[in-house]
């Protein structure tokens, strides 16, 4: 392909993507749709600049306005997460986690975290699985004992496991709470004191649930005893892609150095501006949003159960977060179902469920799919729309209707949900493509 046609093709593909998402039901639990203001920040000149270091102590000139924005961003993060200290420079949730590993452990140390089938994230994972903690920072990983019935970490079994590790000379340096499949709060309150008594640093990875914590509708890890909280800025928190760390003043200097120079050089200043806007939106609209996200997730779970699906966490009402975990093994495997739904304009992802690895399943063909209600809620959907979504899913997965036929009804349905809600401004269409190129050939 010539340079000119590659150039044209990429611009065309971007437009096609926008059109497709405009006509689809977005249910990926780790995604959200930002406001027009966040999108404006992302295309600003901040994205072309460097500002290594801390506001007021930069390695570069040209940072007068950048410094002001970053200070506003840090102040907003402190307010939203009720923390003494915030650092908004991590360029992703993984980089935020890496900074915590760098600040509070050394290669060869142990960390305890959730396994992937129990909801853990690959950035908490072992070297042999190419997990960031093992591969990049040389940590040895042990897993929290997990109760499938309660869908959370087992407190007593964790204490026992850590006592055994201490006796064996393998005491963890870090306990990493939080995860990617995250239906119910983790026992931070129940375990933090025990961890601290044993000199174990407690981090809570709020990548998924940051927006719910911000809205006061999920556990509050810092007040429950966590030393720090890492997060992505773009999942239930609706900012641009990036990371944030909040903590106590006593840990500030170590965290700051671990971010720069430890784990970043450029820290994506356009995204810092976007994070500031997203945090301001969260302060204003975050509570109402978080309440509705969780109501929607519960309603979607109940509506899917009524249509024959198995949902994990039944004993506890399926979920207290934005996510639900659906066991689809009666109807096929998670990978095939993900693809069938995608053909019908329903975008979600397959999911390993607890017990899958032991049962010989792998991440390509697990027994589950994970659904998140963050984005559909930001588009203004409420409980009645969750019933409609459950019915669309049933038509493809249970009735085995042709996804292309179902997609026609989805395109009609989606016409009613074209704007971003819970924002200061919602004139622009949620997926409206903004073309900056004036004379495209």
CB of 344 to ligand PLP, least distance (A): 24
Q: Contact 343/387 with Cβ under 8 angstroms?
A: no
CB of 17 to ligand PLP, least distance (A): 19
Alpha carbons 45 and 256: distance in angstroms, whole number:
25
CB of 364 to ligand PLP, least distance (A): 18
Between residues 63 and 209, which has the closer beta carbon with respect to ligand PLP? 209
Between residues 229 and 294, which has the closer beta carbon with respect to ligand PLP? 229
Q: Contact 160/131 with Cβ under 8 angstroms?
A: no
Helix (H) or strand (E) holding 235: none
CB of 225 to ligand PLP, least distance (A): 19
Between residues 30 and 83, which has the closer beta carbon with respect to ligand PLP? 30
Going along 30-84, which residue ranges are E strands?
53-54, 57-58
Alpha carbons 59 and 91: distance in angstroms, whole number:
18
Between residues 204 and 309, which has the closer beta carbon with respect to ligand PLP? 204
Between residues 262 and 332, which has the closer beta carbon with respect to ligand PLP? 262
CB of 96 to ligand PLP, least distance (A): 8
Q: Which residues contact 316 (CB under 8 A, 6 or more apart)?
A: 150, 151, 183, 184
Q: Which candidate, 108, 112, 86, places its Cα nearest to that of 99? A: 86
Other Cβ atoms within 10 Å of 350 Cβ, number: 20
CB of 78 to ligand PLP, least distance (A): 20
CB of 395 to ligand PLP, least distance (A): 29
CB of 241 to ligand PLP, least distance (A): 6
Between residues 34 and 93, which has the closer beta carbon with respect to ligand PLP? 93
Between residues 22 and 228, which has the closer beta carbon with respect to ligand PLP? 228
197, exposed or middle or buried, with CB in 10 Å at 0-12, 13-18, 19+?
exposed
Between residues 208 and 378, which has the closer beta carbon with respect to ligand PLP? 208
Assigned token pair, 288: 């109402």
CB of 68 to ligand PLP, least distance (A): 25
Q: Contact 258/235 with Cβ under 8 angstroms?
A: no
Helix (H) or strand (E) holding 143: strand 140-143
Assigned token pair, 331: 């109807």
Between residues 91 and 192, which has the closer beta carbon with respect to ligand PLP? 91
308 dihedral zone (left: phi>0; alpha: psi -120 to 50; beta): left
Binding residues for ligand PLP (CB under 6 A): 30, 92-94, 121, 123, 178-180, 205, 207-208, 232, 243
Assigned token pair, 348: 């979600």
* Count of helix runs (H) and strand runs (E) in the chain: 15, 17
Between residues 207 and 386, which has the closer beta carbon with respect to ligand PLP? 207
How far apart, in Å, are the Cα atoms of 258 and each of 73, 94, 154, 263, 361? 19, 13, 31, 6, 37
How far apart, in Å, are the Cα atoms of 138 and each of 99, 186, 207, 342? 13, 25, 22, 38
Assigned token pair, 368: 């589950």
CB of 123 to ligand PLP, least distance (A): 5
CB of 201 to ligand PLP, least distance (A): 17
Between residues 66 and 229, which has the closer beta carbon with respect to ligand PLP? 229
Alpha carbons 412 and 408: distance in angstroms, whole number:
7
How far apart, in Å, are the Cα atoms of 373 and each of 7, 46, 74, 384, 388? 35, 31, 27, 13, 13
Pairing outcome for strands 349-351 and 346-347: unpaired
Comparing every residue's Cβ against ligand PLP, the nearest one is: 93
Edge-to-edge, what's the strand order for the sheet holding 368-372? Answer: 310-311, 323-327, 368-372, 349-351
């Amino acid at each position: 392909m010539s340079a000119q046609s590659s150039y044209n093709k990429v611009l065309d593909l971007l437009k096609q993507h926008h059109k497709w998402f405009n006509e689809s039901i977005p249910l990926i639990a780790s995604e959200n749709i930002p406001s027009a203001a966040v999108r404006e920040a992302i295309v600003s000149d901040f994205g072309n600049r460097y500002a290594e270091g801390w506001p007021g102590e930069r390695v570069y000139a040209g940072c007068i306005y950048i410094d002001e924005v970053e200070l506003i961003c840090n102040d907003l993060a402190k307010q939203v997460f009720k923390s003494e200290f915030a650092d908004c420079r991590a360029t992703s949730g993984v980089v935020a986690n890496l900074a915590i590993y760098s600040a509070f452990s050394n290669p060869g140390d142990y960390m305890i975290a959730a396994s992937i089938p129990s909801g853990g994230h690959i950035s908490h994972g072992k070297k042999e699985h190419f997990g960031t903690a093992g591969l990049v920072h040389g940590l040895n990983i042990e897993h929290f004992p997990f109760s499938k019935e309660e869908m959370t970490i087992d407190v007593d079994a964790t204490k026992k496991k850590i006592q055994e590790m201490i006796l064996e000379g393998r005491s963890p340096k870090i306990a990493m709470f939080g995860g990617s499949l995250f239906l119910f709060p983790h026992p931070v309150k129940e375990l933090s004191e025990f961890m601290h008594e044993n000199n174990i640093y407690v981090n809570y990875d709020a990548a998924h649930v940051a927006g719910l914590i911000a809205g006061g509708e999920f556990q509050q890890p810092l007040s429950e005893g966590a030393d720090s909280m890492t997060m992505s800025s773009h999942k239930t928190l609706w900012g641009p892609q990036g990371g944030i760390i909040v903590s106590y003043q006593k840990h500030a200097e170590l965290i700051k150095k671990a971010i720069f120079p430890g784990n970043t050089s450029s820290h994506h200043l356009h995204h810092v501006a976007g994070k500031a806007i997203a945090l301001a939106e969260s302060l204003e609209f975050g509570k109402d949003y978080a309440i509705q996200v969780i109501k929607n997730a519960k309603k979607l779970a109940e509506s899917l159960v009524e249509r024959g699906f198995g949902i994990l966490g039944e004993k506890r009402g399926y979920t207290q977060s934005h996510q639900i975990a659906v066991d689809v093994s009666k109807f096929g495997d998670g990978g095939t179902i993900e693809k069938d739904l995608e053909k019908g304009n329903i975008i979600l992802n397959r999911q390993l469920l607890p017990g899958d690895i032991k049962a010989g399943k792998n991440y390509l063909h697990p027994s589950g799919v994970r659904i998140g209600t963050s984005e559909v809620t930001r588009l203004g959907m409420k409980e009645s729309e969750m019933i409609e979504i459950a019915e669309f899913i049933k038509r493809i997965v249970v009735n085995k209707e042709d996804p292309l036929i179902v997609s026609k009804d989805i395109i009609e349905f989606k016409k009613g949900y074209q704007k971003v809600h819970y924002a200061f401004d919602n004139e622009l269409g949620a997926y409206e493509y903004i073309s900056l190129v004036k004379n495209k050939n």
